[in-house]
Amino acid sequence: MKYIAILLLPLTVMAATSITAYYNPGCGCCSSYFKKLERDGFVVKRVAVDAQQLDKIKNTLGIPLNARSCHTMVMGGRWIEGHVPPTGIREVSKKGGIMGVYSPHGVRSARGEYEEKYYLVK
């Protein structure tokens, strides 16, 4: 039994980062992006909403109009907009004074992949 306990300890230390993702189920790229995040160690709780509900969430979080995308994710009180790569998500969670992070929608996003560029918003 000692060996089992020792093997399980690293798993609890490496707990995954939990993200709540609000999205319109009619969008084709969101599901692929969420699956990629899960493969990279994030826990993604999907919440399907209609377009009006999604806009209300974005307004409540104070997401700038030029940063908005087809889904909005929230992690630790900060927002993530667009197909932000894992490095951007981790960066926003570590830096103080940051409201959120976004990646502009591009060709990679349309395929459900990560965008290369991301921008932190104070």
State pLDDT tens for residues 8-28.
434 333 345 899 999 998 888
pLDDT-based confidence at residue 29 (cuts at 50, 70, 90):
confident
pLDDT at residue 11, rounded to an integer: 39
pLDDT-based confidence at residue 90 (cuts at 50, 70, 90):
very high
The count of domains in the chain is 1
Token duo for residue 24: 């319109």
Q: Which are the contacts of 93, defined by CB distance < 8 A and separation ≥ 6?
A: 17, 75, 76, 78
pLDDT at residue 109, rounded to an integer: 67
Query: Is a pLDDT exceeding 80 seen at residue 7?
Result: no
Mean pLDDT, to the nearest integer, of 84-105?
92
Altogether, the residues listed in the chain come to a count of 122
Query: Is a pLDDT exceeding 80 seen at residue 38?
Result: yes
- Structural domain of residue 81, as residue ranges? 2-121
* pTM, two decimal places: 0.82
pLDDT at residue 10, rounded to an integer: 40
Query: Is a pLDDT exceeding 90 seen at residue 43?
Result: yes
Token duo for residue 69: 């995308």
Do residues 20 and 48 make contact, with C-beta atoms less than 8 angstroms apart? Answer: no
Dump strand ranges (E) for the chain.
Answer: 17-23, 42-48, 71-75, 78-81, 100-102, 119-121
pLDDT at residue 67, rounded to an integer: 96
CATH number at residue 107: 3.40.30
Answer with the residue of higher pLDDT: 29 or 109: 29
